[in-house]
Amino acid sequence: MTNDHDGVRELLAAWAVGALPPADARAVPLHLADCETCAAEAERLRATVRLLDGTPGPDTGASGAPGDARDGTARAGEGRGGRERAGGGLGGADGVLASALRSRRARTPGVAPHAAPYAAAVAGLQALVRELPGRWGTPVVHDWDAHATVAHLVAADEHLAVALGVGARLPASRIPAGTPAAYAWELRTADAIAHEHARTPEETVATWAAQAADLLATPEARDPSLAARAATVMGLRLPVADHFVIRAFEAWIHADDIGRALGIAVPPPPDEHLEQLVRLAVRILGVALHDAPPVLVEVTGTAPGTGWVLGSDAEPVAAELTLDPVDFCLLVGGRYAPDEVPRGLTGDERAARNVLATAAALAWL
Amino acid sequence: MVVPVEPTLEQPSIDVELHRRLVYGDESALREAYAAYGALVRRVAVRVTHSQAAAEDVAQEVFAQLWASPYGFDARRGSLRTWLSMLAHRRAVDWVRSEARHRKDAQADDSALHAIPDAGPGPHETVVDRERSLLLHTALAELPRSQREVVHLAYFAGRTYRQAAVELGIPEGTAKTRLRSALRKLAASLADPPDPAAARGA
């Protein structure tokens, strides 16, 4: 090993910063004693590291002399340093955390479980819009750019805001009463986009965020018993609690749209929220499939063994479908074509395809 | 959440999960990130600035940035440890540069020199060494990311080159080579400073 000139030469940089495992650490000094070239290189690199350390001059041995091998215990250095600090000067920790937390609002605390996914999705979109300056014109989905996508969310959230008596943020609707829900929905979005495109993206974000904060401050967001009452929002008559889950679903799906357009990986909602989205989507899908050939749908990642038979009660189960929860949500959110979504399938393919096609066609967002 | 001291194959998924919680506004995720990496961030900052107060400022900036703009970190491009370490280093170098600028502005005021914390040998020698050190740290901040990551793990985060290789998902030989290229480049930048005025914050 001492004669392994090339091998030791390769190790000199790691030696100079003290990053050698024990076996290598023994080989280096033996070779340096014999080899002037390596010794000179070693000293040059070591002098550089001492300057990085801020301790110029010869090694005092005080700060990690490079000869010291890093065995397992020595390499606990980082954790050890952390504990020393935690024991000693933790005065700084509160300061650092407190000032960091002032840089962005945490998700709204104190909401009931049915509104927690929406609170998180709002926080997630707020994090994402920090990446948007200079890129607001990026095409996202439909014929919307990123700015229009947020404007759409203002309009989409507004329907629940109206139902809960939250003051309107957009100019009043010109849409005649009696217009079919789906059409009224599109008109309202078109109005909102036209209105918001005359403003800056920052103003639109502020409008959206203020309305979201108002929604999360309603008694219905905090009290499950108040949220149990049914409300009809855009043609869907559901408990208010479910409407909050739908708001979360939509905010996440559109954040994901924006992320895809910008090449940013938007993480899926926290698992417990994802499960709430899945359960609601399964219920709504179940209604749409009430007389279809029954299919057992398993969504992985939800509570073990959870499956739902969707379809008619009168027939035996024709097929089994297994889907990842994120894929399932993207399918139900209209972001996967039914034949493209990754799935596990056994049994009657036509029955299973009917479930996927119905899920993709729900068009509820 | 447990952030293992020894690098493990699970680290990427731990980072992904922590990042997910940061994105969705979960305060406890920030506390965990601080508990896991606060000491490293301060260590990096102290080594560059030689000032506990400056390191405190740097730590505040680094964790504020992580919280306010979690999408600045992309788990597909590297670990949270190296990202925070590199961010702390960049901020610390900026801090020293701006200090140097102030010092230069206040050159007439002799007391500024004596205000440098932890003055070592003689004031003059200290200033020269500080400038050379800043020059080196500036050069380090400008290394290609692939080399910088290895330097941060092996030098600041106390990993062996083998552990660094595992953490970065690269062969050991590659880790050694990157570390060597990086250090030689730094040594060369001392011998042949590109623009000393820049390091003085001119």
Query: What confidence tier does A3 reach under pLDDT thresholds 50, 70, 90?
Result: low
The percentage of residues in chain B with a pLDDT greater than 90, rounded to a whole number, is 64
Q: List pLDDT tens digits, range B147-188.
A: 999 999 999 999 999 999 999 999 999 999 999 999 999 999
Q: By mean pLDDT, which of A180-184, B64-68, B130-134 is the weakest?
A: A180-184
Residue A13 touches partner B, C-beta closer than 8 Å? yes
Residue B128 touches partner A, C-beta closer than 8 Å? no
Residue A153 pLDDT exceeds 90? yes
B91 chain-A contacts, CB cut-off 8 A: none
Residues in chain B: 202
pLDDT at A86: 37
- The average pLDDT across A128-145 equals 94
The C-alpha atoms of residue B135 and residue B188 are separated, in whole angstroms, by 11
Which residue spans of chain A are classified as CATH 3.30.1050.10? 275-360
| End-to-end CA gap in chain A | 68
Query: What confidence tier does B123 reach under pLDDT thresholds 50, 70, 90?
Result: low
DSSP A294: P
Which residue spans of chain A are classified as CATH 1.20.120.450? 116-267
The C-alpha atoms of residue B119 and residue B50 are separated, in whole angstroms, by 10
Q: By mean pLDDT, which of A17-26, A92-101, A241-250 is the weakest?
A: A92-101
> Regarding the domain delimited by A275-360, which CATH topology (the fold level of the hierarchy) does it fall under?
Nonspecific Lipid-transfer Protein; Chain A (3.30.1050)
Which pairs with CB-CB distance under 8 Å and at least 24 residues apart come from A94-98?
A95/B56, A95/B60, A96/B34, A96/B38, A96/B56, A96/B59, A96/B60, A96/B63, A97/B30, A97/B31, A97/B34, A97/B63
**Which of B47, B63, B190 is closest, CB to CB, to A53?**
B47
Measured between CA atoms, how close is B196 to chain A, in angstroms? Answer: 16
Chain A, 122 to 141: residues with Cβ < 8 Å from chain B are: 122-124, 126-128, 130-131
Query: What confidence tier does A73 reach under pLDDT thresholds 50, 70, 90?
Result: very low
pLDDT at A174: 73
The C-alpha atoms of residue A194 and residue A188 are separated, in whole angstroms, by 10
The C-alpha atoms of residue B103 and residue A280 are separated, in whole angstroms, by 62
Q: Which residues contact B12 (CB under 8 A, 6 or more apart)?
A: B75, B79
- The answer to whether the CB atoms of A75 and B140 lie below 8 A apart is no
pLDDT at B1: 44
pLDDT at A340: 93
Query: Is A116-267 a domain of CATH 1.20.120.450?
Result: yes
Q: Which residues contact B77 (CB under 8 A, 6 or more apart)?
A: none
Q: List pLDDT tens digits, range B125-148.
A: 677 778 888 899 999 999 999 999
User: To probe the interface with B, which of A17, A128, A262 has the most B CB atoms within 10 Å?
Assistant: A17
pLDDT at B45: 96
pLDDT at B196: 52
Residue B39 pLDDT exceeds 90? yes
What ipTM does this complex have? 0.86
Residue B93 touches partner A, C-beta closer than 8 Å? no
A82 chain-B contacts, CB cut-off 8 A: 35-36, 38-40
Mean pLDDT, chain A, whole residue set: 86
Measured between CA atoms, how close is B115 to chain A, in angstroms? Answer: 17
Chain B, 138 to 157: residues with Cβ < 8 Å from chain A are: 140, 151, 154-155, 157
> Regarding the domain delimited by B11-199, which CATH topology (the fold level of the hierarchy) does it fall under?
Arc Repressor Mutant, subunit A (1.10.10)
Q: Which residue of B has its CA nearest to A130?
A: B69
Residue A289 pLDDT exceeds 60? yes
